Every structure is written in structure tokens, then in C-alpha cells.
């Protein structure tokens, strides 16, 4: 047939249709248009949705003895969540202890190790394993913040282990918390009835592939459900939507005849977004809470590194101590510590605390530890018992009043101390294992190099926040130490919370 004949025929057809419809009955009693089930929608954007923003304490450990490189993030004010996240890292470390046959001890690295780069990296839990592992052997732990909305926060942790013969173990866990209540849940606890989501999920996929089938989606086989549950473990829940990835292993009877769907999937890996009413009945209470999470993250912002728990059995820790202040230079030191998420211990003189009360309050408010360095820097071993009591007692009263802290250790000026002095003080005397001798005014370069290169795990290092040279190099020193892998904590934290009695010079792991 060619075009010359087609047009008259179409015209005749139209006239016939008009005539016929004019004689047709008004309607068929009881007939209604087909009711399509409410379908989900397909999300093809490759980037994950904006997870929101929360201030985290970024962590890192790299240990060559057992061959592990781990990055994770702690959430300020969420101890149960942080314990759960740490447990994943601890399990990965323990696995490497078994594999390597070596004990685990936190270790620091040489200058320039690049370990200042910490915490989670976008895309690292979804990138191909080979990309994340790179040239590295052993175990690599990476993380990604997947949710920070309302009171809800979620972090996915991925553990990759290179096995001999090129095989890779690759497991991910997402841990969620309600920052308002402290409740913690993992991705396996969000869904009470995963199979309830299956029909809408498969229906959305088959329609996207062009199917107009009106048949209901049948239940999944056990194997299909297992694949689907794995996809649910990587689902994003927020703002009323569950966005579920489509794994390569997914099969369903309803997708069998649709050759196109697999090709489309490979070209643009789709995710399926489901909302009410498709999601109803499938979620646990915490799952419903995640689904409802909206708006900016309302969890506690970081109140200062000194308030945060740092696991010094897992990451290499050391303590910076700053003596003889506070002074007009002290705020510069505090700014650096705040910017580098680090804590320090300030051994203060009573007479200087009296003239800089606001600085004492700021030191305490930012989570740093305050210790007693006597009223006027007297050498205690040359004093009478009454004088020792007065030097330390007067100072302790003022520091406690200004800081609200217990002020539970002292540092004897010049390091002059004996058991008799410790007995009168009634608290531990904290000395040091690395002395920067910043009071001898070395060149800035020499001071910075010494302060960065010398410390080891559990070092207590002495500097002075009255020395202009130390103020000038402090940012470089803190960054340099973090780059070597150190977490900078208070003296108390170095000992896990309680400093042992007597005279101490370094932390417990040396
Ligand atoms: Ni001193």
C-alpha cells in the first residue's frame, strides 16, 4: 500500500467510527477503567542524595604490623553510636591480628605519613573494591555519612580485605542513631517485613522497562528475597522515601521476559524510590523514624575535642601539655586546638589564672584539662610542708572555681618533686617524656621539627603557652603530629580517664 490510497481509507474509517458511536449504548453497566497499582519511581542520578551535614570527630588508624588502614567518624555526644561504630573497626583489627599472627598495638608513623586525612569520604562505600583498595594489601576500612537529618544520623562502614589469589572480602554495615534518644540500630533492624516492599519494587522496575502487565507481582523465592534484603541494607531512608538500589544479581519472574530492563540497568544503574502507601507495614519503629527524618541535623554539635572519647587502645595517642599560663598568647593555642580537633592539658599558675580568668573558663569550656602548676612557680622540694600545701591548695581552689573541673593532677615546677611532695599534694604528679625546651628560644624551624619528630605513642610533651616561639609554630606542630597519625588527648584521656598515683612521665603504652 502506498500513501496515495491510505488517506481516503483513513477518512472513510473516521466517518464509520462517528456513525457507529452515535448508535452505541451509553455505557456498559459496571465497567470501570483499570485500576493501576500505585507505582514507585526510578532514580537514575548516580550521586547519592545529600546526606545532610553533621560535625563529626574524624578518626584514622594505620597499622603496618597487622596490615590495616581504617577511617571512621565519631558523632559528638553519641557514646552508644560511637561504641557500635568502633566495634566494627575493632572486629576488623582482630581479624587482622588472627591473620597476621601479630599482636595489635597503636603505632605512630614517620613525618609526612599523610594521616591527617581522616574520617569518611563520599563515594568510598559504593566505589568498586579495587578502586578503594588501590595498591594496598590487608584490610581497608572506609566510611560514608548516609544520613544527617532531624535527630537521625547514619554512617555506613565498609570493610575490604584483600585475600590471596586476588579475592576480596567486602562487607558493609550501616549504623543509625537517634541523637535525641541515643537509640542505635543497624541496617538489618530497619525492616520488619522486607517482602512487603517486593511487589512495588518489582512493579516499578517492570514498568520502567516498558511492561504494561496488569498481573500482580508474585512473592519472591528465598534466593530472590536474600538478594533484595541485601539491597535494602544499602537503601537510603529519609524525607518519606526509601531509595533502594538494584543489585546486578536481582531476578524476578515478572522481569524475565523483559530483555530491555537488564540493559537499561547496566547503562544507568537505577534505584527505586518507594513512598507511602507502598512502604506501610514494612518498617520497624526505628525504620519509620528514619523515614520521617527531615530538615537539618539537630544532634549535638562538637563541643570540643577534649569532651570526646578517643580510644587510645585503637589509635596512637599522646598528650600535649602547656605550662606556666594562662597568658595573652593562650587563645592562639586554643584556636589551633579547636581547628585541629585536638585536646591538651594546661598546667596553670594560680597568679596567671587570677589575671586571665576568662581564658581559664574558655580552656575548660572547650574540653581541655586543667592541672595545678602552683601559685607562683615555686620549686616545691625547697619548701616547708605548709608552704607546699598553700602553693597547691590556693591554686586548686581558684582553678576549680573558675573552670568547674576537678583539677586532679599537678605538675611540679622545674620537675622538682619527691614522694614527700606527692604525699602532701595527695594527687598524681605529672612530669613529661619529651621536653621541647621552648624556653631556650630555639629557631622556629628547630622547635617545630623537634616537637613533631620526637614524640612516640603515649608521650607526654612539654611546651609553654607563654612562649611566643611556641605560639608561632603551634599550628605546624599540631598538624605535623596529626599527620604522623597521633590523636592529641588530655593527660587523663591518655590513661583512659584516671591518672595513676605517684609520679608519671608518660602514658601507659610505652
Ligand atoms: Ni613551669
Q: What is the pLDDT of residues 359-394, one digit of tens each?
A: 999 999 999 999 999 999 999 999 999 999 999 999
Q: Are strands 152-162 and 168-178 parallel, antiparallel or unpaired?
A: antiparallel
Distance 481 CA to ligand 1 centre (A): 23
Q: Where is 85: in which H helix or E strand?
A: helix 79-100
Question: 409 C-alpha to center of ligand 1: Å?
Answer: 14
Determine the pLDDT at residue 260: 66
Instruction: Give the containing element (helix H, strand E) for 88.
Output: helix 79-100
**Would the pLDDT of 25 be above 70?**
no
Q: How far is the CA of 324 from the centre of ligand 1 (A)?
A: 5
The rounded Å distance from CA 377 to ligand 1 centre is 6
Centroid of ligand 1 to alpha carbon of 347 (angstroms): 8
Distances (CA, A) of 158 to 123, 126, 127, 345: 11, 9, 11, 35
Residue given cell 622540694 in the structure block: 381
Mean pLDDT score across all residues of the chain: 89
- Residue 5 pLDDT greater than 60, yes or no: no
Give the position of cell 533484595. 228
Residue 344: C-alpha distances to residues 215, 330, 462 (Å): 67, 12, 11
Q: Is 499 helix (H, G, I), strand (E, B) or coil?
A: coil
User: Which tops the pLDDT comparison, 58 or 29?
Assistant: 58
- Inter-CA distances, 90 with 84, 225, 384, Å: 10, 31, 51
* 176 in Cβ contact with 13 (< 8 Å): no
- pTM of the entire predicted model: 0.85
pLDDT tens digits for range 216-258: 999 999 999 999 999 998 888 878 889 998 888 898 999 887 7
Q: Is 167 helix (H, G, I), strand (E, B) or coil?
A: coil
89-106: average pLDDT: 96
CA of 334 to the centre of ligand 1 (A): 19
CA of 439 to the centre of ligand 1 (A): 10
Distance from residue 66's CA to the centre of ligand 1 (Å): 40
Phi, psi at residue 13, to the nearest 5°?
-55, -45
Q: What is the pLDDT of residue 424?
A: 97
User: Would you state the CATH architecture of domain 306-504?
Assistant: Alpha-Beta Barrel (3.20)
- At 502, list the grid cell: 605517684
CATH 3.30.565.40 residue ranges for the chain: 37-212+222-302
* Spacing, Cα 378 to ligand 1 middle (Å): 9
The per-residue pLDDT for 6 is 46
| CB atoms inside a 10 Å sphere around CB 107 | 18
Instruction: Compute the distance between CA of residue 349 and CA of residue 336 in angstroms, rounded to an integer.
Output: 22
- Indicate whether 52 pLDDT > 90: no
Q: Which option is the CATH number for 37-212+222-302: 3.30.565.40, 3.30.70.20, 2.170.150.70, 3.60.10.10?
A: 3.30.565.40
Contact in structure between 209 and 263 (CB atoms under 8 Å): no
pLDDT of residue 33: 55
CA of 35 to the centre of ligand 1 (A): 83
Q: What is the largest CA-CA distance in the chain?
A: 124
Q: Is 464 a catalytic residue?
A: yes
User: What is the spatial distance between Cα 338 and Cα 60, in angstroms, rounded to a whole number?
Assistant: 18
Backbone φ, ψ for residue 506 (5° rounding): -160, 170
* β partners of residue 429: 410, 503
Distance 427 CA to ligand 1 centre (A): 18
pLDDT: which is higher, 26 or 19: 26
What CA–CA distance (Å, rounded) separates 77 from 177?
11
Task: List the beta bridge partners of residue 484.
Answer: none
CA distance 118 to 104: 20
Say how many Å lie between the CA of residue 326 and the centre of ligand 1. 11
Number of C-beta neighbours around residue 11 at 10 A: 10
Read off the pLDDT of residues 273-314 as tens digits, 9 standing for 90 and up: 999 888 888 999 999 999 998 888 998 777 777 788 899 999
Ramachandran assignment for 77, one of left (phi > 0), alpha (psi -120 to 50 degrees), beta (any other): left
Catalytic residue among 187, 203, 323, 483: 323
Give the containing element (helix H, strand E) for 371.
Answer: strand 369-372
Rounded Cα–Cα distance for residues 474 and 491 (Å):
18
Residue 22: is its pLDDT beyond 90?
A: no
CA distance 409 to 458: 17
Exposure class string for 263-295: b at 16+ Cβ within 10 A, else e: ebbeeeebbbbbbeebbeebbeebbbbbbebee
Instruction: Pick the catalytic residue from 187, 464, 465, 506.
Output: 464
What φ, ψ does residue 107 adopt, rounded to 5°? -130, 145
Higher pLDDT, 395 or 76: 395
Looking at the predicted structure, is the pLDDT value of residue 197 above 90? yes
Residue 23 has pLDDT above 70, yes or no: no
Grid cell 524475565 in the structure block, residue: 256
CB 359, CB 330: distance < 8 Å: yes
Measured CA to CA, the distance from residue 226 to residue 232 in angstroms comes to 10
* Residue limits of CATH 3.20.20.370 in the chain: 306-504
Mean pLDDT, rounded, for 54-71 = 94
| 43 C-alpha to ligand 1 centroid (Å) | 63
Residue linked to cell 572506609: 142
Q: How far is the CA of 333 from the centre of ligand 1 (A)?
A: 17
pLDDT for 19:
46
- Answer whether 160's CB lies under 8 Å from 132's CB: yes
Please name the residue ranges forming H helices in 374-438. Answer: 385-403, 419-425
Among 433, 449, 446, 438, which Cα is nearest to 471's? 438
Cell numbers describing residue 150 = 532531624
**Cβ neighbours of residue 426 closer than 8 Å, sequence gap 6 or more:** none
Indicate the pLDDT class of residue 135, thresholds 50, 70 and 90: confident
Tell me: pLDDT of 72 over 90.
Answer: yes
Instruction: Say what the pLDDT of residue 234 is.
Output: 85
Share of the chain above pLDDT 70, in %: 89
463 and 322 in contact (C-beta within 8 Å)? yes
Band (144; pLDDT cuts 50, 70, 90): very high
Cα-to-centroid distance, 413 and ligand 1 (Å) = 5
Instruction: Single out the residue of 353, 496, 345, 331 nearest to residue 432, CA to CA.
Output: 345
Amino acid at each position: 500500500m502506498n500513501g496515495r490510497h491510505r488517506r481516503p481509507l483513513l477518512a472513510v474509517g473516521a466517518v464509520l467510527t462517528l456513525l457507529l458511536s452515535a448508535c452505541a449504548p451509553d455505557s456498559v453497566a459496571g465497567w470501570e477503567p483499570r485500576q493501576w497499582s500505585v507505582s514507585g519511581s526510578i532514580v537514575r542520578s548516580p550521586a547519592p542524595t545529600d546526606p545532610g551535614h553533621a560535625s563529626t570527630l574524624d578518626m584514622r588508624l594505620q597499622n603496618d604490623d597487622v596490615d590495616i588502614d581504617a577511617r571512621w567518624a565519631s558523632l559528638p555526644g553519641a557514646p552508644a553510636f560511637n561504641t557500635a561504630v568502633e566495634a566494627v573497626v575493632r572486629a576488623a583489627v582482630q581479624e587482622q591480628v588472627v591473620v597476621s599472627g601479630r599482636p595489635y598495638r597503636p603505632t605512630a608513623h614517620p613525618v609526612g605519613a599523610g594521616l591527617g586525612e581522616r574520617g569518611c569520604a563520599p563515594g568510598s562505600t559504593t566505589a568498586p573494591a579495587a578502586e578503594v583498595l588501590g595498591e594496598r594489601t590487608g584490610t581497608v576500612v572506609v566510611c560514608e555519612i548516609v544520613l544527617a537529618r532531624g535527630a537521625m544520623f547514619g554512617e555506613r562502614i565498609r570493610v575490604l580485605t584483600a585475600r590471596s589469589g586476588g579475592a576480596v572480602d567486602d562487607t558493609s554495615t550501616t549504623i543509625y542513631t537517634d541523637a535525641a534518644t541515643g537509640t542505635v540500630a543497624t541496617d538489618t533492624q530497619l525492616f520488619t517485613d522486607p517482602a512487603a516492599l517486593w511487589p512495588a519494587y518489582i512493579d516499578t522496575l517492570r514498568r520502567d522497562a516498558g511492561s504494561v502487565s496488569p498481573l500482580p507481582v508474585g512473592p519472591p523465592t528465598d534466593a530472590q528475597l536474600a538478594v533484595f534484603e541485601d539491597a535494602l541494607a544499602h537503601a537510603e531512608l529519609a524525607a518519606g522515601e526509601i531509595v533502594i538500589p538494584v543489585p546486578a544479581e536481582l531476578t524476578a519472574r515478572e522481569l524475565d521476559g523483559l530483555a530491555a530492563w537488564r540493559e537499561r540497568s547496566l547503562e544507568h544503574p537505577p534505584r527505586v524510590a518507594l513512598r507511602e502507601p507502598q512502604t506501610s507495614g514494612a518498617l520497624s519503629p526505628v525504620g519509620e523514624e528514619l523515614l520521617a527524618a527531615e530538615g537539618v541535623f539537630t544532634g549535638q554539635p562538637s563541643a570540643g575535642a577534649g569532651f570526646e572519647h578517643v580510644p587510645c587502645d585503637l589509635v596512637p595517642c599522646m598528650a600535649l601539655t602547656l605550662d606556666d599560663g594562662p597568658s595573652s598568647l593562650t587563645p592562639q593555642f586554643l584556636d589551633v586546638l579547636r581547628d585541629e580537633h585536638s585536646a591538651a592539658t594546661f598546667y596553670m599558675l594560680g597568679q596567671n589564672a587570677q589575671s586571665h580568668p576568662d581564658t581559664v573558663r574558655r580552656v575548660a569550656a572547650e574540653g581541655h584539662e586543667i592541672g595545678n602548676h602552683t601559685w607562683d612557680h615555686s620549686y616545691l622540694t625547697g619548701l616547708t610542708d605548709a608552704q607546699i600545701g598553700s602553693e597547691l591548695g590556693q591554686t586548686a581552689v581558684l582553678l576549680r572555681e573558675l573552670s568547674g573541673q576537678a583539677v586532679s593532677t599537678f605538675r611540679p615546677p622545674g620537675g622538682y618533686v619527691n614522694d614527700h611532695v606527692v604525699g602532701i599534694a595527695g594527687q598524681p604528679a605529672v612530669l613529661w617524656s619529651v621536653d621541647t625546651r621552648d624556653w631556650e628560644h630555639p629557631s622556629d624551624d628547630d622547635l617545630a621539627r623537634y616537637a613533631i619528630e620526637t614524640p612516640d605513642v603515649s608521650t607526654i610533651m612539654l611546651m609553654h603557652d607563654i612562649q611566643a616561639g611556641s605560639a608561632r609554630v603551634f599550628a605546624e606542630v599540631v598538624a605535623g603530629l596529626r599527620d604522623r597519625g597521633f590523636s592529641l588527648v588530655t593527660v587523663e584521656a591518655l590513661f583512659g580517664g584516671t591518672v595513676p598515683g605517684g609520679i608519671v612521665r608518660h602514658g601507659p603504652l610505652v
